[in-house]
Amino acid sequence: MRRSASPPPPSSAPRALERFDEANVARLGLISIQERIPDGHNSWSVEFTVEGRPARLSCDALPKHGGVPHGLDNDVSLALITLFMEDGSPQDGTFSTSAYQILTVIGLDTSGHYYRALKESLDRLTTATYTASEAWRKPDGRWTTVKFRYIDRLEYTSDDDRLSLTGGSILRITLAREIVHSIRAQHIKPLDLTFLTSLQRPLTRALYRLLDAQRRQPESLTVLSIDTNIIEWAKACKIVDLKPAKIKRTLDGAHEELLQRGYLRQVSYTGRGTKQVISYQFAHEVTSIPDPELVGQLTAFGVTPGMARSLAQQYPEERLLERIERFRGMVARGYSPRSRAAMLVDVIRDEEGKYADPEGFVTADQRQRSEQQRLQSERLLQQRLDEEDERRSEQYAALTPQARAEQALKTVSLMLGRRLTVSMLAALRDLVLRGELDGADLVKRTTRAAMDLKLEDLSAELTELVRSRYDL
């Protein structure tokens, strides 16, 4: 596959990148882009080269779950990565969510049909086994061999004996250790989730995800065109029928939509038969990924991963490092803000010199002025926090009952983790949905408990509440 970094033609600015994808998963194309696969298609294997060395990727699936992962499974797999990262990328790879949240993340209808499709997809992702021989890139740049299932463990609540999913189903999912390690090491790539979910077909969304990953190879961040043999590209897409004419028909609809939406500038074929070459020309340059170590320094103070990456893209590295050191100095001198993360973000964004750090001897008057300045800054920060609470309360009040329940569930599951079982989480969601528990108050109490290191107490209180209402 040949890539080119020639200058692009004049075009409108690229869309904001809002989410991230694990780089290996996206680049390898673990899931067939085809919406439907033939009966009995339970395995595949492809061979290719990585930096001049042979590599191999294979998948073995169980027939009873509909063959190898394909179609909508691409969307579901991306939703799981997104929700895992929103949950803070826990070290053990386990996070809690709901069936409703998974469908919402990827913009799918939540009225009925897709819950059955989601269950089938989760079954495939839990049982299919992948083997990447010298094809999995570690964060240190080395290529290695790994064997894993996309979902290592799945636990969920169900309202019937058929073990189906509904909008109220709560899931506890453990992702593959290999995927977790990559994400936590920041081996990720930006992905415009808003654009992806606006695409009409699962096949188009899957092709977009694969193309976008191919542009972000380790050696280049400015790929503007890709030339690849039609058969090799079909294998990368995990297309079953490798006849050139069939490959073109499979891709045509997705090509047309990506051209119309302005992601691709041109798609062309040269040559004949199996020697044909597909040429993709992209409309925009890609955006660089923020420095993982810098992001890690910010998240170590409690700044959310999303905010940390946003700051790392918005401000120069020198400024961030200087502001982090200034904040460390403030803390070392005994300054104890209500929220370290919020204060650090405010220190980074400060353009008025509120947090100037005088050096050497200071007079009593200077100390008094400094203290007054500190108190004023703290009052302003508190005012901002109060305004943020008010804004969130207004937004919460405008939500539907189901959306309120989902928001409360996301916060509780993030903060309390495994302290509550999936049945307990499902019961809390139900109480909020029925209006018997104030979701906004639950979110505030959970956040406050996390700040005050009293999550165990809150967990016990919520457990007692649920057991008083349900037979659990």
**Residue in the structure block whose two tokens are 């294998």:** 235
Least confident of 150-159, 160-169, 229-238: 160-169
d(CA 211, CA 236): 10
pLDDT, tens digit, for every residue of 432-450? 988 899 888 898 888 878 8
For the chain, state the CA radius of gyration.
Answer: 25
CA-to-CA distance for 111 and 115, rounded, in angstroms?
A: 8
Between the two ends of the chain, the Cα-to-Cα distance in Å is: 56
Share of the chain above pLDDT 70, in %: 89
For 7-23, write each residue's pLDDT tens digit: 433 333 333 334 678 88
**Which of 43-52, 267-276, 438-447 has the highest mean predicted lDDT (pLDDT)?**
267-276
Q: What is the pTM of this model?
A: 0.71
Q: How many whole angstroms separate alpha carbon 207 and alpha carbon 201? A: 10
Residue 217 confidence (pLDDT)? 61
Token pair belonging to 317: 């590295």
Q: What is the mean pLDDT of residues 216-240?
A: 83
**């390898």: which residue's tokens?**
28
**Where does residue 252 rank: exposed (0-12), middle (13-18), buried (19+ CB within 10 A)?**
exposed
